[in-house]
Structure 1
């Protein structure tokens, strides 16, 4: 039997390669860069405490969200009875407070015939430009352009909006937030109408102290003074407290809310205030599994509201996201 040296080398090389395939692959070296602490926008200075409060409504409502194209969405909303919020749990002192800030770029069409288009672009110098145009009907519209810039310790924005193509409704708002300490930040807001006479600017001052388990924030303006406290007892239990005093009427309102999340995906929000009002909302997500690994979500919301006349009213809602 002839022994071929080349053949022996080939067999040995194949055997070594087979052993190498059984060995674990070498892990890639991952360099973790230090994350920069994200600054809080001025319009979100009370977000945690106010999000703990329920949005109570009366009647029945159905909201269907459909994604037609990549950046085109259709919203269908049907209301039966008084489905609007019939009672405000707190007062809003800041421009665009408690409104969705992370608006997706694209077109949003409502079943009522209104449309909202948003366009975003990052400019030189770390500026972000956001243009939003809303058309409600043939004679009602609103256009807003926002320039925003974020630095290591400050975040500022300038917005300009006009309604119904009327120059007299032109309004400019500037917001500025500065982080003095890692736990403490300070902000101001100035809003005015350039074409109004006499020019009466709106001015407010806000402060926020943040810790891992609680947040204390306050805002003072010519409308009133507000202090908010947010406390997180556990990952699924939160507490929100709001104290508001109006400068005109001088009435002080104390509101307390409790937010509880359950493991089955349910959510409960309860509130009471010093005006002998209260209420709660309970929502639950129901998942429907379809072929091709598609999941449909149906959100069921139940609402109960007790107003100043001690009347108990109920509401039910359904949200479908397709």
Structure 2
């Protein structure tokens, strides 16, 4: 099946500032695609262009086979958007919010009513259908926004920081739902600052920095990029070694303090652990634990974004 989202050389400038710089990628059916990047990297601008809220300066966006600039209505019929800040109608009840969204998208009543009941049950909202939007917590509003998006049965769902600031129960419900959507052939485009969430949910991730796409691959493939370096965490029973006492280890290592110990990132974790433990023993310091940590998506993210510097000065969100 054809890609549900395809960007070609997508670009957006604000005056002299290039917020998004010739970005190209695809999202296929049944794929959870994550867009990561530091603040000001161009993520929000990219999502606004993909969803038709902001015209690009250059390049194209194709959604479900429809060019967004030439066929905006047709393209938007295939997509649903859940922003970070849930914007439900505060004077309408949960059921009325759901009904309004379905009818705006032309979903027949007999279809959306049954679909809506199932969604409300899934998100633990079935016993709150008469509650007005203004009385809902952030977590409940976000659940309602997802119901409102899914009642239209979109081909692709755009989620902007869907679990940011939510209670544990709401965040878990949302993650579980997102994980199940690809089985229905739906694509999910996810922006998040939560690296564990991206690793858990995403089939592929793209990392944006200073408006440019610096990496795109599966989380496992991206982690393999930094597999030549690993972190060793060493904790001490009582006062331990400090970084100043670890000069001349014989192998390069980045040293960071952690509670009750040190984290050392190096290409030779075994040798570093042996050296540090040896110095601790020589000073009469007891080592409590030694753990070697596999590279994470966060390690990849930090390496790729720090090496390129921060966002362009004056970049808009």
TM-score over 0.5 (shorter chain): no
TM-score by length of 2: 0.29
The answer to which structure, 1 or 2, has the higher relative contact order (CA under 8 A, 6+ apart) is 2
Comparing both structures, which one devotes a greater share of its residues to strand? 1
TM-score under structure 1 length normalisation? 0.29
Q: Which protein has the larger Cα radius of gyration, Structure 1 or Structure 2?
A: 1
